[in-house]
Amino acid sequence: MVEKRLISLPRILKHIKNAVRPALYSPVLYGAYSSYRARQQGRIIQQEQAEYEDRARHLGVSADWSPEETRDRLYKRLAQRGVVPLPKSKSQLHIVYASGHSPWDIINIVPALANHATVSTYLLSDHGFDAQSQDWVQVRDRMNGHFVDFLGRLHREKSIDLLLTYYSGHHVSPETIERIGSKGIVTAAFHLDDRLYFRGEFLGGRLRGPAAVAGAYDLNLTQAPESLVKYRVEGAIPWLWPLAANPELCYPRRVPFQYDVSLVGTAYGNRISTVRYLQGNGVRVATFGQGWPSGFLPAEKFQEIYCASRINLNFDDIGFTKYQCGKIRDFEVPMCGALMLGTHNPHLARYFELDSELFTFRDNKECLQQVRRLLSDQGLCAQARKLARTRAVREHTWDIRVKALLDMVGFTA
C-alpha cells in the first residue's frame, strides 16, 4: 500500500529553491540575480537611512552624543525606575547573557563577561526553542513567558545586575523587556545587522528587527555608526560597540603558507564575482564555507586557514550591496597575526591603520592590483601582520569591549 503524504507550501518552495540554486551559480544567471538583490537591498538601506535622518531633523534629535551625554541619559532613565548602578567586584556582579545559541558569541562574549562577573546564560536551544522554526510565531509568546520566569527565579537566588541579549523583535516583545527591567535589572542588547534589518519585515504582529524593541531596552549596542540616529529617533539610547576577537582562540599558528589567497565565508553576493575575477586573472584563491566546493568548515578551523594564507580576503559588504558594516573577521584575522585584504570599509579606519596594518579594495580591479602588490612584497606583508596583531591585542579584545560596557553602565570603579 502506497502511503499518501501531504506536501506543504513551504516544502514545495524549498524543493523549487534547491532545484534552481545550481543554475544561479552560472556566471550570467548569478550576475543578474546579484544585481537584482543589490538594488533591492541597497534601496532598503538608502531609503531607511534617509527617512530616519529626516525624522531626526524634524524632531530635533541630535546627530551625535558624546559618551558623557550617553551615560547621563542612561542614568536618568535608570533613575526613573530607582536603579542606581554601583561598582561591584567580580563575585558580586551578576550578568545574564541571552541569545539563540549561535556558536561565535558563546565562545567569545560569554568568556569575556566571565572575566568580570558571575555569568548565567539563557540560550533558546537549551530550553527547547528554535527561533528559525516554522511555528516560531505560535511559540514565541510562550518562550517570552518562560524567559521572564527563568530570570525571576534566578534573580531571587542571586540578584541580576545586567541582562545582555542578542535578541531583536523577532525574539522578544517590548513588554517582556520592560517586565525584566521593572525588577531593577539593567537591560542591554546588541545588534549586528541594523543597517539593512533595523526594521525588517512584519511577523506575528510586529517588526522582526531591533526597531520593535529598542525603546524598551536601557542601552542598545550597535557596531554601525550610521545606525545610531535610528535608535535615537525610536526613543532609545544607543552606543557604538564594535566587534572584537578572542586572543585565547585567535593567535598566530606556526604553520607554513599553503594558500596565496583564501576566503573563509559563505558563497554569496560580491564574494562570488570577486573570486571568479581573481581566478580568471591567474590568482590561486582557496575558498572555504557553505556554497563553495569545499563545503562547510568548522569554526575551529578558521584560525588555521587565516595563518596558512598569505592573504585573507574579507568582505564587509551588507548582503549583496556595496554598503559596508563590520564583520568579526575584521578583528579575528589581525588577532591571528594574519594579513587581511578587505572591501574598503571606512569604519575600519577607526580601528586599524589602513594600507599599513590592513589593506582594502574598492572593486575587483583594485583587488587584483592589491593581491599582486602584496604577493610580490613579503616584507611589507610581514610588517603588516606584526602591526595588526599588536593593535588587535592592545585595543580589540572582547574583554576590552565588555570592560567598556561595564564602565558605561557604572559597574566598575
- Report the alpha-carbon distance of residue 108 to residue 110 in Å, rounded: 6
Residue 25's pLDDT is what?
55
Is residue 181 in some structural domain? yes
CATH number for position 321: 3.40.50.2000
211 in any annotated domain: yes
| Contact (Cβ atoms closer than 8 angstroms) between residue 184 and residue 81 | yes
- The model's pTM is 0.91
**Mean per-residue pLDDT, 312-318:** 96
In this structure, the answer to whether residues 202 and 130 fall within a common structural domain is yes
Give the domain CATH number at 160: 3.40.50
**Residue 163 maps to a domain:** yes
* Residues 317 and 404 grouped into a single domain: no
Q: Which residue has the cell 576590552?
A: 400
Both 140 and 237 in one domain: the answer is yes
Same domain, 293 and 375: yes
Residues 187 and 65 reside in one and the same domain:
yes
CA–CA distance, 111 with 97 (Å, rounded to integer): 11
Return the C-alpha cell found at 347: 569604519
pLDDT digits (tens, 9 = 90+) for 264-310: 999 999 999 999 999 999 999 999 999 999 888 888 899 999 999 99
196-211 tens-digit pLDDT = 999 999 999 999 999 9
The reply to whether 9 falls in a domain is no
Tell me, yes or no, whether 31 lies in a domain.
no
Average pLDDT, the chain: 92
- Tell me, yes or no, whether 28 lies in a domain: no
Residue 27 falls within a domain, yes or no?
A: no
Q: Assess whether 267 and 377 both reside in one domain.
A: yes
Residue 14 maps to a domain: no
Quote the CA–CA distance of 363 and 365 in Å, as a whole number.
6
Query: Could you give the percent of the chain with pLDDT greater than 90?
Result: 87
Residues 347 and 281 reside in one and the same domain:
yes
Q: What is the mean pLDDT of residues 351-373?
A: 98
Domain, as residue range, for 360: 259-395
For residues 172 and 90, membership in a common domain is answered with yes
Total domains present in the chain? 2
